Amino acid sequence: MAKGRDTLSARIGLRVKGLRQRAGWTQTQLAERLRVEQQEISRLESGRVVNVNLDFADAIARQFQYTLADLLREVLPEPSLTAVEHDVLIALRGMDDETRGAVERLVRAKGRDAAHAAGRARDRAIPDQTATAGKRKRGTGTTP
């Protein structure tokens, strides 16, 4: 990416580069598939393209069995996510199924641990209502 550039076009370029490398293709091979010059792929991947044409982005996405929406979803941060959470999602999408499954199992286990700990903390913070009610009845002098 060009120094200091964090534009949609630059993010698309970086993602295309990652997809291309994962597929084991050279810039020339991708360019041939798209029927464009290799320099156009180089400019895109290095962040020197100011505005990516959506038809071109769609054609690129299809080379990797993606839809344009898939490609854009990977380069646009989720509005409610931090930058780190967004980066984690991108990393997960790039993992093979076995590795992604292992990470998902780990996250679920950690989530259960956190929920269990939160439940214990809540239980300590809120007194048992049945015990409190029983103390009030005994203290009134009336028989239930």
For residue 14, the domain's CATH number is 1.10.260.40
Domain range for 34 is: 8-72
Residue 58 lies in a domain: yes
pTM of the entire structure?
Answer: 0.53
Instruction: With a cut of 60, say whether residue 138 has pLDDT above it.
Output: no
Q: Which amino acid is at 91?
A: A
Do residues 78 and 86 lie in contact, with contact meaning Cβ atoms separated by under 8 Å?
Answer: yes
pLDDT in tens, 22-42: 999 999 999 999 999 999 999
Residue 90 lies in a domain: no
Nearest-10 Cα torsion for 69, 75, 81, 87 = 130
pLDDT in tens, 84-126: 777 777 788 788 888 888 888 887 777 777 666 666 666 666 6
Residue 47 lies in a domain: yes
Helices (H) and strands (E) counted in the chain, each on its own, are 8, 0
Residue 62 lies in a domain: yes
- Give the number of domains in the chain: 1
Residue 89 lies in a domain: no
